[in-house]
């Protein structure tokens, strides 16, 4: 859009709009086309509200470790980032049994009903509050739909460093996930496995060995991102 057009729509003097545009341009929120002189939304805006790390970058850095997790656990692996209270799947490794499976990269999963979602929400109070305010839909009888129950669970997730969902999204299925940190310690994603409760659970809770595989993979990816000093 041009300055005159913007000033007309905002009902502001042209000089004021010009000043605002110059400020927005200096931080990359708008860009000016060199030829036409018109303004458009800038690249910096695209990065706001999404993860701190490009999802394609995250997938590339995590490729070996997510393969390794699938091989060790025998289950499918997903890596997700937080996207408006939901989990955006940026990487998916098939369950290593050569059965027919479809790639789910780009899918959105509910934040409160998946292990990855809980890991990501536990690290982002602002997103959690927004999600609770907009309501927590039930997918199964086990889905957490009460805001304070979710908040309490996220506290526990933060404390122990991993999360689980037991039949909270799909009856008969469970998932386990752990956070991926970047070099500033910021949670930039979650890595997790999912599969049938018969394989993932023991006595109603996630199997210890699977939890440790997931946490080791998360630590390995974080280490490659410079998030853990050892």
Partner 1 sequence: MRTTQTYIASVDQGTASSRCIVFDRSARVVSVSQIEHRHLFPRPGLVEHDAEEIWQNVLTVVREALAAAALTVSDLVALGITNQRETTVLWDRATGEPVHNAISWQDTRTDRLVDELAGDVGQHRFRDRCGLPLATYFSGPKIRWLLDNVPGVRERAEAGEVLFGTMDSWLVWRLCGRHLTDVTNAGRTMLMNLETLDWDDVLLDGMGVPRAMLPEIRPSMEVYGEAGGELAGLPVAAALGDQHAALFGQTCFDPGDAKCTYGTGSFLLMNTGSEPARSTNGLLTTVGYKIGDEPATYALEGSIAVTGALVQWFRDKVGLIGSAPEIETLARSVEDNGGCYFVPAFSGLFAPHWRSDARGVIAGLTGYISKGHLARAVLEATAWQTREVVEAMNGDAGVAMRALKVDGGMTANNLLMQCLADVLDVPVVRPIVAETPSLGAAYAAGLAVGYWPDTNTLRSHWHKAAEWLPDMDPAQRDRGYRKWRKAVQRTLDWVDDDDE
Residue 217 beta carbon to partner 1: minimum distance, rounded to whole angstroms? 11
Q: Using CB under 8 A, pick the residue from 96, 130, 147, 161 that binds partner 1.
A: 96
d(CA 183, CA 124): 17
What part of residues 135-164 is at the interface with partner 1 (CB under 8 A)? none
Cα–Cα distances in Å, from 154 out to 35, 123, 125, 140, 181?
51, 8, 9, 19, 17
Regarding 71 and contact with partner 1 (CB under 8 A), the answer is yes
Segment interacting with partner 1, rule: CB under 8 A, options 19-27, 89-97, 150-158, 170-178: 89-97
Residue 216 beta carbon to partner 1: minimum distance, rounded to whole angstroms? 11
**Burial of residue 165, with CB atoms counted within 10 A of its CB: 0-12 exposed, 13-18 middle, 19 or more buried:** buried
Nearer residue to partner 1 within complex by CB, 61 or 112: 61
What part of residues 99-118 is at the interface with partner 1 (CB under 8 A)? 101-103, 105
Regarding 70 and contact with partner 1 (CB under 8 A), the answer is yes
Q: Using CB under 8 A, pick the residue from 25, 42, 45, 67 that binds partner 1.
A: 67
Residue 38 beta carbon to partner 1: minimum distance, rounded to whole angstroms? 15
Regarding 97 and contact with partner 1 (CB under 8 A), the answer is yes
Q: Which residues bind partner 1 (CB under 8 A)?
A: 54-57, 59-61, 63-65, 67-68, 70-72, 92-94, 96-98, 101-103, 105
């Amino acid at each position: 859009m041009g300055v005159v057009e913007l000033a007309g729509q905002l009902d502001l003097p042209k000089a004021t709009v010009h000043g605002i545009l110059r400020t927005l341009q200096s931080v990359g929120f708008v860009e000016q086309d060199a030829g036409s002189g018109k303004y458009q939304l800038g690249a910096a805006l695209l990065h706001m509200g999404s993860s701190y790390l490009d999802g394609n970058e995250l997938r590339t850095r995590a490729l070996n470790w997510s393969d390794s997790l699938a091989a060790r656990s025998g289950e499918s692996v997903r890596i997700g980032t937080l996207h408006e209270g939901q989990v955006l799947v940026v990487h998916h490794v098939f369950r290593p049994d050569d059965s027919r499976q479809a790639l789910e990269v780009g899918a959105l999963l509910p934040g409160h009903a998946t292990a990855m979602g809980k890991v990501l929400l536990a690290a982002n109070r602002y997103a959690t509050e927004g999600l609770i305010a907009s309501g927590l839909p039930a997918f199964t009888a086990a889905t957490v739909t009460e805001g304070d129950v979710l908040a309490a669970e996220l506290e526990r997730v933060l404390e122990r460093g991993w999360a689980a969902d037991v039949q909270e999204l799909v009856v008969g299925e469970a998932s386990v996930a752990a956070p991926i940190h970047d070099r500033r310690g910021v949670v930039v994603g979650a890595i997790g496995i999912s599969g049938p409760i018969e394989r993932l659970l023991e006595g109603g809770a996630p199997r210890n060995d699977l939890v440790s595989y997931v946490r080791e993979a998360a630590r390995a990816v974080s280490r490659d991102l410079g998030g853990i000093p050892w």
